[in-house]
Amino acid sequence: MKIGSRSPRRRPVKANVSLIGEKAPHLDLLLMQLFRSLRIAVIYGGDKRTGGAVIREAHNPRSWKSYETVARNIADALSRLGFKDVAVLPDDMSLMGQLKLRRINMAWVNSGGVQGRSAISHAPAMLEMLGIPYVGHDPLTAALLDSKHHFKRQLQSLGIPTAPFFVWHPDEPRKSLLSDRRQRSIFAKWPHGFVVKPVTGRASLHVHYVEHAKDLPEMIAEVFGATQNSVLVEAFLPGREYCIAVCGPVVARRGKLHDLSAPFAFSAIERKLSKNEHIFTSMDVRPITAARTRSLIADTDGDVVANLEEMARSVFHGTPLQTLVRLDVRADYNGNLFVLEANPKPDLAAPSTKSTSLIAAGLARNGMTYDDLILSVFADRAATLFNGRAHSVAQFFQSFQQSSGELR
C-alpha cells in the first residue's frame, strides 16, 4: 500500500465489521447497539496522595497529571453521542473494585498512570488481566511510546528519521559522558546545541536547551535529579515544529462513519515558536491557543504536508498502535523532518474559547467536530476489536450480548 496518498478513497462503512463465525453487522448499526448497551468507564490518572489510591506512595519518573478534566470531556462527548451509561473513574487501587461493582464492560484509558515505572501501561495491563476491552494502546505499546529512547530505536529500525541522540543511564559515570567515542562522533560537530530531557515526560517539563556540549553533564544531573530515571540527550533541531495525529481508518465526519481503508492522518499543525523560544513552552505554563498554532495548507506549505502525512502513516504501519497517537516533529536547519516522539495519549481536551489542543486545533480542516473525533476513536477501536483479535472479540461480544440482554 502506498503510504502518504493525500486523498484516500472514501467509502461508507458496510461489511467491514465482521465477526468470525457470526453474521456481519454494519458498524453504524453495531455502534447504535453498543451505545445503548455498553457500560463504559473513562479512566483518568489517580492521585497517589488520596486515601486508598495506593498501598505505599512511590516515586513517579513521569511528571504526574490526573487528566480528569479531559476524561470528563470525553465522557460528555460519549453521552452526547448516545452512550447511556458512562462512568469516570480514577486509575488507582480502587479501579478493579469499581469496574466490578459498576459492571463496566468497556473502558477508555485517558491516564498516564499513578506512580512507578512505565505507569502509562498499568491501566491497560489491569484491563487485559480483567478481560475488559478498552480504547487505548496495549501495555507494551503504551510503554514503548512513553519511553522516548525505546521508541526512537523503533523509529530507527523503521528508517524514519529521528533526532540523533544518546541515553545517559544513572549507573554510568558522568565524567565518561563525552569521552565515549560513539557519542563524540555524533555530537562533536553538531553546531546547533542540544536538548536534554526525561526519557518519559510530558508537556515539555524538564526539557532543556543546552548550547555547549561542556554544559551537558550539569543539565543531565538536573534532569536525573527530577526524574530519577535515564536521561535523553538529543541534537537540537533548529527548524520549524509540527504536529500530526494519526489513527485507524474508521473516521466520523458530521456523525457519519467512513472506512478510509488506510490510517487517517489528521490536519497537520505548526506549533508557532516565539523568537528565541528553543523549546515549545509547556502547556502547563502557556495553554495552547489559536495564536500558538497554524494549520498547514497543502497548496502553500509545499511538500511538508505530504511528508508529515507519510511519516504519520509509516509510524502507524510500523508500530503496533491500537489507537490515535500524535507525532511531534521538528525540522533541521535545511527543513528535513525528524520525529521527536509519538504521544500515546495525546491531549483530547474539548476546545473552548480560552484554549484548544494540538489535535482539536485542526479538526475543522478535516470537516470534523470534537464529537466526531471522539466517535472516530471509539468506532475505530470497536471495529478493530470486532474484526481482528479473536480472543478480545469473543469476550467483547459476549459481554456486549450479556449487557444487551440485561438491558433489553
Ligand X SMILES: Nc1ncnc2c1ncn2[C@@H]1O[C@H](COP(=O)(O)OP(=O)(O)OP(=O)(O)O)[C@@H](O)[C@H]1O
Pick the piece of the chain touching ligand X (CB under 6 A) from 17-25, 105-113, 202-210, 298-306: 202-210
Binding span for Mg ion by CB under 5 A among 67-75, 152-160, 324-332, 382-390 = 324-332
Q: Crossing angle, helix 370-387 and helix 68-81, to 10 degrees?
A: 80
User: Measured from the CB of residue 5, what is the shortest distance to ligand X in angstroms?
Assistant: 27
Residues 178-197 that bind ligand X (CB under 6 A): 195, 197
Counting residues that bind ligand X (by CB under 6 A) gives 20
**Residue 234 lies near Mg ion (rule: CB under 5 A):** no
Q: Closest distance between ligand X and the C-beta of residue 333, in Å?
A: 11
Out of ligand X, Mg ion, none, which partner does residue 203 contact, by CB within 5 to 8 A per kind? ligand X
Counting contacts by CB under 6 A, is residue 241 touching ligand X? yes
In angstroms, the CA 255 to CA 240 distance is 34
Name the minimum Å distance from CB 283 to ligand X.
Answer: 6
- β-partners of residue 31 are none
399 binds, among Mg ion, ligand X, none (CB under 5 to 8 A by kind): none
Judged by CB under 6 A, which of 39, 62, 137, 202 binds ligand X? 202
Q: Which of 92, 234, 309, 372 is the binder for ligand X (CB under 6 A)?
A: 234
Segment contacting ligand X by CB under 6 A, of 90-98, 218-226, 236-244, 362-370: 236-244
Element (H, E) at 148: helix 148-158
Bridge partners, 88 (sequence order)? 42
Please name which of 119, 127, 112, 122 lies closest in space to residue 67, comparing C-alpha atoms.
112
* Distance from the Cα of residue 278 to its chain's centroid: 23
Pick from 44, 168, 236, 378 the residue near ligand X by CB under 6 A. 236
Reference 326, options 241, 390, 210; nearest CA is 241
Query: What is the separation, in whole angstroms, between the first and last Cα of the chain?
Result: 43
Which residues, 6 or more positions from 124, have their beta carbon under 8 angstroms from its beta carbon? 109, 134, 136, 137, 138, 139, 142
Closest CB to ligand X among 311 and 375? 311
For residue 355, the SS3 value is: coil
- In angstroms, give the least distance from the CB of 328 to Mg ion: 4
Strands (E), 180-314: 194-198, 208-210, 231-235, 241-247, 250-253, 256-259, 264-265, 269-271, 293-295
Rounded to whole angstroms, what are the CA distances from 322 to 29, 74, 93?
22, 18, 25
Name residues contacting ligand X, limited to 274-313 (CB under 6 A).
Answer: 279-280
Could you tell me the smallest distance in angstroms from the CB atom of residue 236 to Mg ion?
14
Question: Residue 396, SS3?
Answer: helix
- Beta strands 85-91 and 39-45, pairing class: parallel
163 binds, among Mg ion, ligand X, none (CB under 5 to 8 A by kind): ligand X
In DSSP terms, which residues pair with 252 in a beta bridge? 257
Q: How far apart are CA 71 and CA 87, in angstroms?
A: 10
Query: Cell numbers at residue 383, please?
Result: 471495529
Q: Which residue number, 166 or 242, has a Cβ lying nearer to Mg ion?
A: 242
Taking CB within 5 to 8 Å according to partner kind, which of ligand X, Mg ion, none is near residue 18? Answer: none
Site string for ligand X, 312-351 (x = CB under 6 A): ----------------x-x---------xx-x--------
> Considering CB distances under 5 to 8 angstroms, the limit depending on partner class, which of Mg ion, ligand X, none binds residue 92?
none
Q: Is residue 347 near Mg ion by the rule CB under 5 A? A: no
237 binds ligand X (CB under 6 A): yes
Does 167 help bind ligand X (rule: CB under 6 A)? no
Measured from the CB atom, the residue of 146 and 328 that comes closer to Mg ion is 328
Contact partner, 396, from Mg ion, ligand X, none, Cβ < 5-8 Å per class: none
- Categorise residue 335: left if φ over 0, alpha if ψ from -120 to 50, beta otherwise: left
What is the rounded (10 degree) CA torsion for 334, 283, 248, 62? Answer: 100
Q: Near Mg ion by CB under 5 A, which window of 184-192, 250-258, 264-272, 320-328?
A: 320-328
Cell of 278: 528553543
Residues binding Mg ion: what is the number (CB under 5 A)? 1
Choose which of 328, 347, 372, 380 interacts with Mg ion (CB under 5 A): 328
**Chain residues that interact with Mg ion, rule: CB under 5 A:** 328
Q: Which residues bind ligand X (CB under 6 A)?
A: 163, 195, 197, 201-205, 207, 234, 236-237, 241, 279-280, 328, 330, 340-341, 343
